[in-house]
Structure 1
Amino acid sequence: MIMNFGMNIEMDIINEKEKKPQLLIDLKGEPGKDCNGFCKFCYFRKVNYNDIFPFGCKHCTFQIGCEYCTYSVREINGDFLPLPFALQQVQSALFFNRYEKVNITGGGDVSCYPFLEDLCRCISDMGLKIHLGYTSGKGFKDLNTAKNLVDYGVDEVTFSVFSTNEELRREWMNDKNAKTSLECLRHFCENCEVHCAIIVVPGVNDGEELIKTVSDLVNWGAKAVILMRFANKTEQGLILGNAPIVEGIKTHTIEEFKNLVKRIHEEFGSKIRVSGTPLYDPITNTPFAISYEENLLNKLKNKIECEATIITGNVAYPFLKKIFDETPVNIIKVNKDIADLITAKDLEGINLKELSDTVFIPPRAFVHDRVAEEILTKDGEKRMILRGVEQLTLDGEVSGIYTKKEALEFELEAFNELIEMINFFGTKK
């Protein structure tokens, strides 16, 4: 998911480049409760959990609302699992498949899981390596915890850093043991493959603070760092009715953030892999690396035979506009930066006169199929409303394992699939 929900996405489960399966173990847990308290910038802070409503999504069947768009989107997972239940997930999975590594994750912070060392020791006894899927280190009691985890087979860690400045971590991450967290991070960097995440809050941990943090990570031996734009407005992704998360913070524009990622890459890119979300990856040129390849673009455009409309968000719009320029496909954006976070309310603002007879909405948009059809045909015109290709490009959270050539190959396959859909369902020009 290309959102600031943390680092827990599909690529944590399978390394697409190396095709090595990882068994995902979900410890459950919830933000704010199972992470030693909300970080100031947390996507879920200020959410009113007493007023739960379903968005609707592609997983819904006959009625609006399913487990995913009602509860999972809010990380309502329940308490951490007891140790026997977590181990049962591993043992049951091993009956049917072979795995090299177990990815331990959850809705809370896995460093706060009270049985983490015991769990890792048992998994190690099964002969499996371990990836700590997401942690900020806030739950680690002392440096020995990190040392023990490495001894028990942890060789890969996804770590939410924010800053290597202890005071900033105490204030903004609610990290009462900031020194210990950073000591553990350093030990992981020296002994594991560590991918770091930094949510960048303007005027807080950017500028010289960001330079110092990335410099520390480089010196400690981290493999990669992803810069994540702080979201503070509904259009930036806060669809849970909790905007603004922090009063008085003016967040980076899309272009400002891209330039920030570029500057960090230029300074540190020779020593650590730098990428950003919602954009961009300076190595692969993603998202939409194909938009820079005129030869490939012309080949794609020549395949388009029918008219259609694609609805998207602010980040993807200029790229898709260029990719489908001078074709029968028109691109329409709504005021939502991330297309996957488009809701029914966003669709209601579209000028229906601009729509073709065939309309593609983002596959992961939070709107029920029936509702999308009702909104986009309320002018009385008959239109076919479809969900497009699941993933057209790579977000910074996953692009770090790809080369530029591999990223282009991924996009070529995805856009060819989309063009096939356009030609099959669209209107002949």
Structure 2
Amino acid sequence: MRRRLVISTIAIVLVVLGALALPVGLIVYDAAEQQLDARLGLRVNAIVSSYEQDLASGREPNLDELRLLLDPTDGLQVVQADGARSVQDVDPSVESTRVSRATASDGTRFTIVADADPLDQNFRRRLNILLMLALGAIIAAAGLAAVQARQLARPLERLASRAGLIGDGDFSRRPFVRTHIPEIDRIGSSLDLSAMRVETMLANERHFTADATHQLRTGIAGIAMRLELLSLSAEPDVAADAAEGLKQTDQLNSTIDDLLAAARNRTTNERTVFELPTIVNDHADEWQPRFQAVRRHISVITSNPAPPVYGTKGLTGQVLDILIHNALKHGAGAVTLMIDGPSVVVIDQGPGMSKSRLASVFDGPVDPSAKHGRGLALARRLAQVDGGTLSVVGNKPLRLRFELVRGDVGTEHRLTSARSLRRRDKQPDQPPLG
């Protein structure tokens, strides 16, 4: 996009300069021609004035002295009143000339013939100056177009990156950098609102699934306890029915487990093998402006070669954003994201935490309506959903380690799951629950 803007701006400037080139060239040539005519007119008038002064003083005019008033390249023709040519000083090899004439009081006609080559040279010199100015204008336009293209492209690139993160399942609400361009700001606000709504819907869905599962398990556990008591009955029929009921409760528990696993897999169906440094660097670049605004620094260090990891890019990005935001809001000094194998250690130079706070740092708030204290608890839940871990590995400075599943381990896990599914498909169908 930036290159297109620069090329289009240069093309517009070239079209404008091309449209102005012909009239400007004509004006410059006409100005040079008028300057030459004025010079020749002044000289022929000077010759006539000197000639008449000699006549008035009774002296015979010396035409050779009059020739000294001209340039060496100029020619002079003097035609007396009777038609006799007394001077014919014109170079016949000159093809292009300019002529200026004047007549003395006694009828003698003076004609100055000048070579037009200096006129052409003067025109070319001025034309070269105009071409240099035009070239400077093109360079200046290209520079301004590059600056303008950068100012327009960067917000659109951030929007494209944000839309890509939402497509990867990252619905974290990072602060949108206002560009003061109404259309782009409206798109960014709409993306943030859409991400917030989708995240809220997914969170409500996950909570509903967990709550419904818990309630079902509680009821099934109560039924199972009663059936266990009935299975101890002395009556064989009652004991047999109770045992059959216990089998059905076990099948119902297995069904609930499968449904819960399916619900969780739906939120992480984008698991793939990816390079961890790429994700970490992208999110560090996204947070760089906010750190610069508070005169702080964020950097990424890779201590060991990072192997590919297996997980969901969106969930990984959300965990990183939560950890970086926590370091920005509650920490101090520079923040370092150290990539160590399949893990990322977030380090800030703050005062750390107290021992009591460290013990419950990943516990959510007791009050459901509390607005603070949910970030690290949410980060750990997201890490666990994606098969990773989040833990505190140091204090003063605070160090939080987010470790993911290695790519080769993730591949083995997928192959194992596929074999399990194939074995299950080969098993006979279970009888329906009665």
Q: Is TM (by shorter chain) over 0.5?
A: no
- TM-score normalized with structure 1 length: 0.19
- TM-score normalized with structure 2 length: 0.19
More helix by share: 2
Work out which of the two has the higher radius of gyration on C-alpha atoms and give 1 or 2.
2
Q: Which structure ranks higher in relative contact order (CA pairs < 8 Å, sequence separation ≥ 6)?
A: 1
